[in-house]
Amino acid sequence: MFKIIHAEFLAPGIKRFVIDAPRIARKQKPGQFVILRIYEEGERIPVTIENSDAERGTINIVVQAAGKTTNLLNTLNTGDQILDVVGPLGKPSEIANYGTVVVVGGGVGTAMAYPTAAALKHAGNRVISIVGARNKELVILESEMRGVSDSLMITTDDGSYADKGFVTDKLRQLIQNGTRIDLVVAVGPIVMMKAVSEMTRKENIHTVVSLNPIMIDGTGMCGGCRVMIDGKSEFACVDGPEFDGHKVDFGVLVQRNSMYRDAEQRSLAEFQRAAKALADSQGVEHACAAVSAGRQGDQG
Amino acid sequence: MSPTTKKSLNPVPIKDRIKVPRQLMPEQPAEVRAHNFEEVNLGYSAELAQLEAQRCLECAKPTCTDNCPVGVQVKAFVELIVAGDFMGAAAKIREDNVLPAITGRVCPQEDQCEGKCLLSKKAKALGIGYLERFVADYEQRMGTHVVPKVTPTGKKVAVVGSGPSGLTVAGDLIQKGHKVRVFEALHEIGGVLVYGIPEFRLPKQIVREQIDYMRAMGVEFETDVVVGRTVTIDELMHEEGFDAVYIGTGAGLPQFMNIPGEHLNGVYSANEFLTRINLMKAYKFPVYDEPMLDLHGKDVAVIGGGNTALDAIRSALRLGARKAYVIYRRSDAEMPARAEEVHHARQEGIDFQMLTAPVEFLSDGKGWLTAARCVRMELGEPDASGRRRPVPVQGSEFDLPLSVAIMAIGTTANPIVQTTTPGLGTNKRGYIQASEETQRTTKKGVFAGGDIVTGGATVILAMGAGRRAANSIHQYLTTGEW
């Protein structure tokens, strides 16, 4: 069991958890992730590590509610327990002094981009960060990113905060302004990473992306996370999760991530129905709070 | 017991024993079990066990024991069954085998003990596996495991991986008085016994009971630790105070054929397919959250001819597959699967497409598998493995419609431990170098055994390596000599 030391929403549907996991905290490096399972009947899902504190023995994870498991996770609060947390998994980001690095974080991907940006800054790079979100509320880790960047640009799809547009608009401006870019690191939705990679391919700028396929064990055992890199099959959990964006077959990634869409939608719908029923019966305002209370009760 | 008393206990004269037929294992009818995950074999009754035990010829030089990787004293435990001392028989097995309820179910006995049984020259071999299982289950039902008393040595051993070889090392070393802590990457203890072998062949309750017994003996288990990532071997030895480490991580990395279409939705590795079912209980979705593709009315094939292949396809059948094929590139004679499993699979209606191999997976244009393009094979000259090499038959291509294809063509070494442990020698295929006699690696204090040394093999061979390792770890810890 892994105890949640602190939990707080960073944005609607995006929650940060500080988890007591001393072994993982000691070893975690930027770019790595954990796999967690909340309760006995739960599935195993990979989750980004945003940061860790080796002395306190804690890791931070940032989770955006999407399917059943992430919705359930976001009902958990300070003091609750997570049944299994295993890691740190995956190869760490390759940190070196490249010169000028552009770090692109899209949505909740910003949480994984942040430690990499910090390490790159620490290694002596000039770090230009671009953070994109759908709207003002969903911009996360702004001050953290600002703290590790020589300059920070923010875009929102709807223009409700900073500049209206996409991260690629900012990247294009940088390229058009003749900014010398030695490396681009992009973490976010697949469409964003694909668009960034296509843009930098033309300019011959080395680009690293962090992939998020479906995983079970996270140690290379199941092969479910296989991705096509330069026409060859690789396992994101042990060979990645970071790959050369110019070699990734994003189409295959999108297709494989859709494999269980029907089951995922069914799970989520049933979860939401149950949560609502529980909330109605208890007169609780927030359905998720009811589920959380019920779940903790089950565990005695 | 003196020899004369022993003889008097077996009512069947030696010369008549060969005439007694081997007692059949009671099993669920094929048409019933093909739709459930309950165990196929139901186990001997005490009467059947004693009738079978009476067939033992009590050889002066028991070749069965010589051919057992852990050296179970077959003649002695069988005699105790004849005498009706089932608990004594269990204790006798446990002297050499810490997991009898498991090996009694999954060992390829025809290649080990039973393969060398003298009876098999003229009749059917003694049902040693069935008897072992009977005794282990009897002991479990009685619920009175004897926990041996030992003198603590003050030494600590870390075991990496909780599969059959790691459990054997742990069970042997704890009985020699060492402290033992087993590290497991997954959330459940048992390795391939829990994620790989399905319920109908090895109920998970059996595995849990064996592990509970180990806990009772004092073995500590820590799950959710990926050694090499969460903690390194050097850290275990230098910071956590372990005097020796045993690496039994298995050969877990699934292989693919590298043919077109392997990335399609519907193509699984056997490891993933079985892990979803066995470890994650995806067949109980939505009670359990882990999903899997709905197989009801679907055509499913497994590629490969080993135990893993049969475990996967028989699971698919139980999950409602309309057609369930085994596609194997050689013939029956070369199939590495346990004979009993092949027999059971045929009874259940699995369609064996022998001397056949896929060359490509075809899609619906939207990323989903629709068929395997296959080619028929014929056997040519023997290859490096000594088995006749399959050669494609010109113009024999055909398309087999499929919704799901499961690749069970073997596994390779997982590199996580090797790449994070300086001084640990590996061979060119990435397996850990270890002495066949002592299981010592090239790194002082570190031992290895099982599939991570030999490549994919069987539960009992992994346990044999664990046994040898436990003996040499004990020697190292007591003498300090490397």
- How is residue A80 written in tokens? 């609750």
A30/A96 Cα distance (integer angstroms): 12
Residue with tokens 């991580």: B249
Nearest by Cα to A76 from A37, A106, A48: A37
Contacts of B256 in chain A (CB under 8 A): 223, 226, 233
Please tell me the predicted confidence (pLDDT) of residue B251: 85
* DSSP notation for B389-453: EEEEPTT--EEEE-SEEEE-S-EE---HHHHTSTT--B-TTSPBP--TTT-B-SSTTEEE-THHH
pLDDT band (50, 70, 90) for residue A300: very low
Please tell me the predicted confidence (pLDDT) of residue B147: 74
Please tell me the predicted confidence (pLDDT) of residue B435: 95
Taking residues A63-87, report their average pLDDT.
94
A20 three-state secondary structure: strand
Amino acid B417 reads: V
- How is residue A60 written in tokens? 């931070």
CB contact under 8 A, B286 and A233: no
Taking residues A85-91, report their average pLDDT.
96
Taking residues A96-117, report their average pLDDT.
96
The answer to whether B325 and B351 have CB atoms below 8 angstroms apart is yes
- How is residue B405 written in tokens? 């294809």
Q: Which residue of B has its CA nearest to A220?
A: B253
Contacts of B231 in chain A (CB under 8 A): 23, 27
Q: What is the dihedral of CA B34, B36, B41, B47, to 10 degrees?
A: -120
Per-residue pLDDT of chain B (482 residues; tens, 9 = 90+): 444 444 558 899 988 999 999 999 999 999 999 999 999 999 999 999 999 999 999 999 999 999 999 999 999 999 999 999 999 999 999 999 989 999 999 998 989 999 999 999 989 999 999 999 999 999 999 887 667 788 999 999 999 999 999 999 999 999 999 999 999 999 999 999 999 999 999 999 999 999 998 999 999 999 999 999 999 999 999 999 999 999 999 988 999 999 999 999 999 999 999 999 999 999 888 889 999 899 999 999 999 999 999 999 999 999 999 999 999 999 998 899 988 899 999 999 999 999 999 999 999 999 999 999 999 999 998 888 788 889 999 999 999 999 999 999 999 998 899 999 999 999 999 999 999 999 999 999 999 999 999 998 889 999 999 999 999 999 999 999 99
For residue B122, report the phi and psi dihedrals to the nearest 5 degrees. Answer: -120, -25
For residue A235, report the phi and psi dihedrals to the nearest 5 degrees. Answer: -95, 120
Amino acid B65 reads: T
Tens of pLDDT, residues B71-109: 999 999 999 999 999 999 999 999 999 899 999 999 989
CB contact under 8 A, A27 and B223: no
CB contact under 8 A, B288 and A43: yes
The answer to whether B404 and B300 have CB atoms below 8 angstroms apart is yes
> Cis bond leading into A88, ω under 30°?
yes
CB contact under 8 A, B195 and A221: yes
Tens of pLDDT, residues A128-168: 999 999 999 999 999 999 999 999 999 999 999 999 999 99
Residue B269 CB partners (closer than 8 Å, separation 6+): A222, A223, A224, B254, B256, B406, B407, B408
The ipTM of this complex is: 0.90
- Buried/exposed code over B416-444 (b: 16+ C-beta within 10 A; e: otherwise): bbbebbeebebeeebbbebbeebbbbebe
A142/A132 Cα distance (integer angstroms): 10
B107/B100 Cα distance (integer angstroms): 10
Distance of CA A107 to the CA centre of its chain: 8
Strand partners, B162: none
Residue A206 burial (C-beta neighbours within 10 Å; 0-12, 13-18, 19+): middle
B247/B254 Cα distance (integer angstroms): 19
| Residue B206: C-alpha distances to residues B105, B109, B156 (Å) | 10, 19, 28
Q: What is residue B386's DSSP assignment?
A: S
Closest Cα in chain A, distance from residue B107 (Å): 23
Contacts of B275 in chain A (CB under 8 A): 216-217, 221-222
CB contact under 8 A, B290 and A223: no
> Cis bond leading into B11, ω under 30°?
no
